[in-house]
Structures are given as structure tokens and as C-alpha cells.
Amino acid sequence: MKLLLVVLCGFLALALSLAAPAQHDVEMADAPVGNPQPEEHSHYDSKFDRCDGIEFDAVAPDEKGTMFFFKGDHLWKGFSGPSEHANGTFQELDEYHHLGHVDAAFRMHNKDEDALKDHDHIFFFLDDKVFSYYNHTLEKGFPLEIQQVFPGVPSHLDAAVECPRGECVTDSVLFFKGSEVFNYDIKTKTVKKKVWGHLPNCTSAFRWLEHYYCLHGHNFTRFHPVSGEVVGAYPKDARNYFMTCPNFGHGAGHSKPRCKFDAISTDDQGRSYVFIENLYIRLDSHRDGSHPFPIARSWKEISGHVDAVFAYGDKLYIIQGNQIYIYKSAAHYTLIEGYPKPLKEELGIEGPVNAAFLCANEHVVHIIKDQKMMDIDLAATPRVVKIEFPIPIAKADAAMCDADGVKVYVGPIYYQYQSPRILAVGKISPAPFKISAEKFGCEE
């Protein structure tokens, strides 16, 4: 009897051991490959690696400046990091997955009072539908038919990108479909169709730091948002510029410049720049990141570093050596005919100079040269030095005047004064402040 009981127990243990792997195999067969647990939705593709050279469906920033890259039902947040499921950030898009992938996307720019409610919203286009999000939450009433929100704009778009007034003639959105471009005026809700046959068919497009990019395949082409003009050697590989990939460069080949300014200024459009060697950094678009660009990209006639920059009216003055360049600062900087001119002819002084600044609502430019400050009335004819002061700072690099007063930059530090007059009559320099590397995107 005991022997029979032992045999029966042995058979039972063997049966259980054979059954266990079979149950384990069933659980693994139900789970998606590469995932420890099954996902709630089964339509997801496997994860993408953008360093493989994929073609994006759409690219757009959110209201905080985070750039989103879309492919299928995945997205990437920013210029580095792995992909993730899009429904984790924009849940409602997943409920309409039967419509297909995101065709196009853009972040609205419209500060007009009657349309301010849409400013900084992200609009997604899927087939003939449009979704409006703010703070990653779908706005009430959406999705809607595209023509209900953007009359005259076709369905099944390829790409879209916002174009603020000042860069385009009016606050606009550029919609791409094949070789056709639909320029949508946000205020009048009118559309003008163009054909930019010289530009590749864009599968996505985005605006970043005043520049416009058409992505096609794993390449991109930078273009002018009004004319579609392409200047420079394009296409270029996006992996060298807009993502961090092994064996690929990042950015425009520039490391962060040092925190030693040559000039700093804000124009009448509210665009602020710091100039460092042969580069400039846009300051007022900080949420889109700080990035150095060659000065010649925005002021193509300028080669090398500049000595001083100041804005007066709707013009930007750039001083380089013994010459001065004057640009119209409307939609895009345009050199005024007849310039550059000798600095002596324009302002009545000899170059080079150390710095220049102009305070708001004033017409006197303050030029710093060596250890003196010269005041020149820009409303007078001819323009000549009206008064000259010694200043307590030697070897100034740059200067600016804003709501906080006058800042004079010397190497990695700056001195702050309440007004130009305080700077002129001061005998001792105040305690210096350190330039913020984080704020200006430079290296200490």
C-alpha cells in the first residue's frame, strides 16, 4: 500500500511539472513581443528608432516649447530620448486611431484679442479632422472638420507650420499638400495657394528659433516662409541637427560659445539678441531653447564678429570696425540701400568702438569707446558727438539699457547702473554680477 501511494504521488508531481510550462507558454503567446505585459490596445506598432533615418509624420512644439516628433502612433519629446506611445500624452488621438497617423501639426501663434483663446494651442490634423489641444488636453467640441476651423484648407495634409506676423506679413499658417502651399491668414480666414516646385514635398514642417524647416525622408531643407526660397547647401540629414544619434553630429557644429559678449540688443519687434564672436543667440524665444547661429544667417552681409549693435525706430544698427550697417527690422532684416557706410559719415566718430546702447523712447545713442561714453543725438542732422563723459569701467565688451537700467558687460561679468547719467557721473564701479550661463545659453 505504501509503495502504491509513493508511485501515485510521483505521477501527480510529474503531471504538474509538465502542465506548468504549457500555462507559461500561453501567457507569453498573448503578450506583445518585447513587452512584459500586454497593452490595452493591440494596434500599436513596435517602437521606432529615429536614428535609423525614419520619415516623420508631423513635428510641432507645445506651449512650453517642448518639440514633439510624430511617427505612426509613437512620438518623441524633444531632441533626445526614446519614442513612446502618443496616447500617453494626447489620449484622445488614440480614440480616433482608425483615421490613421497624424498628418500635420503646428502651434498656433495669434495674440489678437479676438482670437487669443487659440494662442499656443497645438492643432493636429488627421485625414479630414482637426484636434485642438492646450496643456495636452483636448479642447471642448473637438475634433471638428478641418474646413470648420480653417476654411479653404484641404484635407489629407502633408505638413503645417505657423508663421507669426513679422516673419510673415500677417499671422499665418502654411499648409503643405504635395507641391502646393496654402497660406492661411488667421485674422481674415482667407487662403492663398502657391506652388513651390523647387522645395521638396514636405512630410512635416516646423518653425524653430525664427527658422523654417521642411522635413522629407530623414533629410530637411530650410526655406523662407514668404517666398519659399532655399539658400545654402540642402538637403541636410536631420540626424546631424535635430536629434542625438551615435556617429552623427549635433546642432550646427557649434559648441556653446563662451559667456563673453560682443554686443546685445533688442529691436522694435521685441526680438532680443546677444552676439558672441561670429555667432548670435536669440534671447526672447527662450522656451524653444538657446542655440547659436552664424550672424550671416540673419544678416548675410556681416562677416565675423561685430563691435556694437543698437536699435532705433524700425532699424537695427550694426557697427563693425570703421563701418556701420543699418537694417530694416520688419519681417526679415534687410540691409538699407547704400550701406555699409563709414562710421564717421553716419555718427561722426571713428571706430572701432566697444559698445553702444539706446534706452526706450529716447533718441540719444550712447557709444562706449575705451574708457569714455559719447552721446549722439540720432534725431539731429548731422549726427555728431554732443557730450562726452569718462566712465569708471575699462575695456567694456557690450552694453544694453532695459527696465532694470544700464548693464555694462566685461568678460563673464556685468555692472548695473540705474541710468546712463549714473554711469557717466560714477567714480567707482558697483559690485559686479555674473552672467547667467543658463539664461544666455553660453559656457562660463
Cβ–Cβ < 8 Å for 316, 333: yes
Is residue 236 located within the same domain as residue 285?
A: no
**pLDDT per residue as tens digits for the range 302-358:** 999 999 999 999 999 999 999 999 999 876 789 999 999 999 999 999 999 999 999
Classify residue 185: in a domain, yes or no: yes
Task: Decide if pLDDT at 34 tops 70.
Answer: no
321 plus 217 within the same structural domain = no
Has residue 251 been placed in a domain? Answer: no
Confidence of residue 95 (pLDDT cuts 50, 70, 90): low
Whether residue 373 is contained in a domain is answered as: yes
Clarify whether residues 300 and 227 are in a common domain: no
Question: Would residue 16 count as lying in a domain?
Answer: no
Q: Residue 5 belongs to what H/E stretch?
A: helix 2-30
Q: Does residue 222 share a domain with residue 292? A: no
**pLDDT score at 232:** 85
Q: Please give the average per-residue pLDDT across 109-137, as a whole number.
A: 82
Indicate whether 389 belongs to any domain.
Answer: yes
Classify residue 166: in a domain, yes or no: yes
Question: Do 143 and 276 lie in a common domain?
Answer: no
State whether 66 and 164 are in the same domain. Answer: yes
Count of CB atoms within 10 A of residue 138's CB?
17
Residue bearing the bigger pLDDT, 2 or 274: 274
Question: Does the pLDDT value for residue 68 go beyond 60?
Answer: yes
Q: Considering 240, 272, 297, which residue would you say is the last residue of a domain? A: 240
Query: Is the pLDDT at 180 greater than 90, yes or no?
Result: yes
Across the range 186-200, mean pLDDT stands at 93
Q: Which amino acid is at 350?
A: E
> Looking at residues 286-297, what average pLDDT do you find?
79
- Is residue 39 included in any domain, yes or no? no
Helix/strand/coil for 217: coil
In the chain, how many domains are there?
2
Q: Are residues 436 and 383 in the same domain?
A: yes
- Do 167 and 235 lie in a common domain? yes
- Total H helices, total E strands in the chain: 6, 34
Q: Are residues 313 and 365 in the same domain?
A: yes
Angle at 140 between CA 134 and CA 145, to 5 degrees: 95
- The CATH number of the domain holding residue 144 is 2.110.10.10
- Is position 432 within any domain? yes
Identity of the residue numbered 223: F
**Beta-carbon neighbour count of residue 234 at 10 Å?**
15
- Note whether 336 and 408 are same-domain residues: yes
pLDDT tens across 403-426, in order?
A: 999 999 999 999 999 999 999 988
Using the 3D structure, point to which of 240, 271, 296 is the last residue of a domain: 240
**CA atoms of 184 and 169, how far apart (whole Å):** 11
Both 77 and 208 in one domain: the answer is yes
Looking at the fold, whether 64 and 212 belong to one and the same domain comes out as yes
pLDDT of residue 438: 79
Pull the grid cell for residue 151.
476654411
- In the predicted model, what is the mean pLDDT of residues 358-384? 95
| Most confidently modeled range among 6-15, 132-141, 328-337, 342-351 | 342-351
Q: How many CA atoms lie within 13 A of 400 on its CB side?
A: 18
Task: Identify whether the C-beta of residue 324 lies closer than 8 Å to the C-beta of residue 281.
Answer: no
As a whole number, the mean pLDDT across the chain is 84
Containing structural domain, residue 366: 263-440
137 phi/psi in degrees, rounded to 5: -120, 130
Question: Final residue of a domain: which of 185, 209, 240?
Answer: 240
CA 195 to the chain's CA centroid: 26
